[in-house]
Structure 1
Amino acid sequence: MDKYGVGQDAYCYPGTTVLSNRLNIRDDTELFNAERDFSELAASQIGFSPPPYDLSYLQHLHRTLFEDVYAWAGTIRTLDISKGDTRFCNVNRIEPEAEKVFQAMARFGWYEGYAREALIIAIAESFGDLNMIHPFREGNGRAQRILFEHLILNAGFEVNWWCAQPQAWIDANIDAVVCNYSALERIFDRCIGPAIPE
């Protein structure tokens, strides 16, 4: 069983839990390190884009981050996945559920003009809901953080992801499965900085 609890799947080399990759790396740790290095370099080259945002934009971010590592970068997954006790969105519902989240953000004007406290609450809920969709086989968190970085910057606030610990992200997103966004709110309260001077 791989970390998503799906056992052997078409994304992995046969008989392993290692995701098939363009680098032909067959070791989980080596692939993790290469994926991190490639995606960090790619992330540093992604410029800010203003809204509107949608699933296609998230796919673009994912493709940019991971296209040197995975042939399926930016492609919606075709396999149902779970992590621990959390089962992510069924593959047949990814696109309509993502559309609901993006339409909600659009209705709220992409949170432009929100005070910091209101922004934290709104961002936490949207982040948690989109995380449950988990549209890609791997790399969802990194692509989603860039999307939300753009959202927060567009709303006029600084953001620093280094203020959150990895386990805190995991625990907060697990809480959000049952619509408890308080832990995500605490994370965003640390990560969202002051308003950007005009």
Structure 2
Amino acid sequence: MRRDKYGAEQDSDCYPGTDVLINLLDLRDPEDLEDAERYLSAIAASALEFVPPPYSLESLRQIHCALFSKIYSWAGKLRTAAISKGSTRFCSPEFIEPESRKEFSKMAAARWFEDYSRDQLIKAVAEAYGTLNVAHPFREGNGRTQRILFEWIIVNAGFSINWDGVNSEEWVAANIQSYLGDDGHLANIFGRCIGQPIREDDKYSL
């Protein structure tokens, strides 16, 4: 029985009879594709340089394109298919742009959390991350794309960030709880990952 990553029936983004996304490497095995995604996106991520605000949905698109352009022809393009994962139903395609714009406007009004204490920052980024995760702009690769953007937000706010020690099961569970209205689990993760204040010059050496 084929696995069903997004709880959807066969769609045109996948190879016939599977839920494996059509990819530039023509990998048909889901594990092989996952390994290639992880490897190539990690190399691409290491080449990305810090970008200061303002940020927007376009920022996410540029990051996604940089991470996945060697894997998917639609890298950087907003999804057009409705998707869900388990009981989590992500934003309908027609609402991705307005909902994302609303959250980015909220962060801009907060001056990208630049004057926030560490405790204030943890709470704010947990809430913002959870909201944008529900938008889920891309067919695949949302988590990796969004984490890079939030690294920039956190560094711009004057703090270090390190994701080491956060496993995928814990991350997924925290995002599910956020979807259900509880950002506490995401805040707990950000509380462990956000470090101490950094010097101004260090912002640009990532």
TM-score band by shorter chain is over 0.9
Partner in structure 1 of residue 158 of structure 2 = 156
Map of 1:43 onto structure 2: 45
Structure 1 gaps, min length 5: none
Alpha-carbon shift at residue 197 of structure 1 (Å):
3.0
Instruction: Give the secondary structure class of the aligned counterpart of 2:75.
Output: coil
**1:47-97 CA-partner distances (Å, limit 9, x unpaired):** 000000000110000000000000001100000000010000011100000
1:111 and 1:173 mapped to 2: Cα distance?
21
1:94 to 2:96 alignment: yes
Q: Over the residues paired in the alignment, what is the CA RMSD in angstroms? A: 0.9
For this pair of structures, how many residues does the alignment match?
198
What is the match of residue 120 of structure 2?
Answer: 118
Q: Which runs of 5+ in 2 are unaligned?
A: 201-206
Q: Per the alignment, in what secondary structure is the counterpart of residue 162 of structure 1?
A: coil
Where 1:163 maps in the other structure, the secondary structure is coil
The TM-score, its normalising length taken from structure 2, stands at: 0.94
**In 2, Cα distance between equivalents of 1:44 and 1:7:** 35
TM-score by length of 1: 0.98
Q: Distance in 2 between matches of 1:79 and 1:68?
A: 21
Match of residue 9 from structure 1: 11
Note if contact 1:2-1:8 (Cα within 8 Å) is conserved in structure 2: no
- Displacement of 1:179 in angstroms is 2.2
Distance in 2, Cα, partners of 1:99 & 1:116: 25
70-79 vs 8-17, which moves further: 8-17
